[in-house]
Amino acid sequence: MSKKIVVVGGVAAGAGAAAKARRIDEQAEIIIFEKGAYVSFANCGLPYYVGDHIKKRDELFLVTPERFRQRFNIDVHVNHEVTAINSGEKSVEVVDHATGRSFKETYDKLVIATGGSPIRPPLDGIDLKNIFNLWTVPDADAVKAFVTEKKPRQAVVVGGGFIGLEAAENLVDQGVKVHLVEMLHQVMPPFDPEMTMPLVKHLKQLGVEIHLQDGVAKFLGNDEVSGVQLAGGQVIETPLVVLAVGVKPNIQLAKAAGLTIGEKGGIAVDKRMLTSNPHIYAAGDAVEIYHLVSGKKVRIPLAGPANKQGRVAGANAAGGSLEFPGAYGTSIVKVAKLTAAKTGLNEAEAWAEGFDFQVSYTHSPDHAGYYPGADTMMVKILFDKDTGHLLGGQIVGPKGVDKRIDILATAIYSKLTVYDLENLDLAYAPPYSSAKDPVIMAGMTAANILRGEVLTWSTDDLRAALDNEEEIQLVDVRTPVEYKNGHVPGAINLPLDDLRDKFGELDSHKKTILYCGIGYRSYLAYKILKDRGFGDLRHISGGFRSWSLTLPE
């Protein structure tokens, strides 16, 4: 007797679950109910469709209901909403929104892939016309049609996360003046604050006005939105608003069916994606999973984990035996000519989880500096003080960020240490990398710190010392020309190449802080002065480049 598998929801997790279930069991009856009009579409591509980088709308659709039927023998019912799960009798209640008809469908195994929904804060004016989300194909259609037909001169994007930044960039590409509003003190909350400052500066260069630590108080207008009043009192006139303030998991069905909901507000599942009911699996944005660094349960609403979870849930629903061990939120975002990427824990998360860790910053070209077109990327890694195990990494730069963050993600998954990073055997040719790849350089720098070869300060440490008027001897070991073009306030200039002859001009009994351009020359200066009896030495990780990139405007 063939098994009957019902999947609630499509897109990444649901569509993937159904397709994998078919590959496990050719005889199973598989049905997908999707309440929207599209069962499988590239929601990550929606901002780029609005910005006209994706020219053809049809390119957003990955697999159509017809293709599911022809290739996989799977019945897909779009515009069909599952309104209840009757776990006792193993059935779901369904409404066909095209006809209004309601009916029940039985199942042997059920996969819940209800995903998430964009948050719409309960503010005055939230229901005015032309306040859009950018979450579904109809959302993208609406925004694109408005921009094309109305040609707005100005727009407000609320939220500085992935979707907010992508929406801002693509609206700018369409000639729209953008105001980006973020109630936190930084854009891209998963990143550490200093790693987001280059993004903010770059957006400002594009003409985007950024309003940090200032949320929306209310939306203005009668029938259509005409402006946004910020909490600080400023009013921004605009005929177009894009909301990107976060996503909440769609757990109503699961909760009503009596399934266990976890501490983070998602459906609780084990590594087989099995819920608290032995006949029901769940996957995607609605579930909680293990964080592979902290070991704690988290919600990571990203397409990569959702696809893998769907695959596992579908396989097991069909009688297979797969596991999804967890994830650590590897993510990447394009912001015009810059790319920012993250994997593992950031500093706040590492502190919250009780890790005793250190940080290093490096600035490396994406390929050999002598080969034309090299651009510098800023690399930050977090590593355990005792073991050297990599805990997290963040990278910002114009090119080559993607492959380096993937190396760091693989290193975390493999439980490599920074000592392993400095010994990686990575491909090198001048157009592609340097003999010491940026990841290898990050590993070497971190390993030097762990071996006790050098003591470091971050730019935050230096800033705190200056703010508190701590008595330090701050030495800039760059050339006089570099110093003249910009330096840290209070620094004296003693170039590295003169240091062996002129170190006597410094007070060896004072706490001495060294910096250079990116940290290499100050490391050499540290060694020279250490050998000459300077006892209290630090050098600035990442050097003046880190200092200047993280200066608030």
Q: List the alpha helices (DSSP H) in 105-227.
A: 137-150, 162-173, 193-205
Pairwise CA distance, residues 525 & 536, whole Å: 13
Residue at token pair 């909440």:
248
Between the alpha carbon of residue 218 and those of residues 230, 232, 360, the distances in Å are 7, 11, 42
Q: Residue 191's CB: how many other CB atoms inside 10 A?
A: 22
Residue at 177: amino acid letter = K
Strand, helix or coil at 50?
A: helix
Question: 179 in the Ramachandran plot: left (φ > 0), alpha (ψ -120 to 50) or beta?
Answer: beta
Between the alpha carbon of residue 92 and those of residues 79, 107, 163, 254, the distances in Å are 15, 8, 33, 11
Q: Is the dihedral of CA 123, 125, 127, 131 positive or negative?
A: negative
Nearest Cα to Cα of residue 309 among 11, 4, 2 = 11
- Phi and psi at residue 349, in whole multiples of 5°? -65, -40
DSSP state, residue 187: S
Pairwise CA distance, residues 98 & 321, whole Å: 37
Instruction: Give strand pairing partners of 513.
Output: 474, 538
* First-residue to last-residue Cα distance in the chain: 69
44 is catalytic: yes
Q: Which two tokens stand for residue 473?
A: 């001897």
Pairwise CA distance, residues 470 & 325, whole Å: 47
Catalytic residue among 4, 29, 42, 44: 44
Q: Residue 66's CB: how many other CB atoms inside 10 A?
A: 9
Query: Radius of gyration (Cα) for the chain, nearest Å?
Result: 27
Instruction: Give strand pairing partners of 389.
Output: 417
Please say whether the beta carbons of 275 and 104 come within 8 A: no
Please say whether the beta carbons of 15 and 62 come within 8 A: yes
What DSSP string runs through 288-337? -EEBTTT-SEE----HHHHHHHHHHHHHHHTT-------B---EEEEETT
Pairwise CA distance, residues 362 & 518, whole Å: 7
Q: Which residues are catalytic?
A: 44
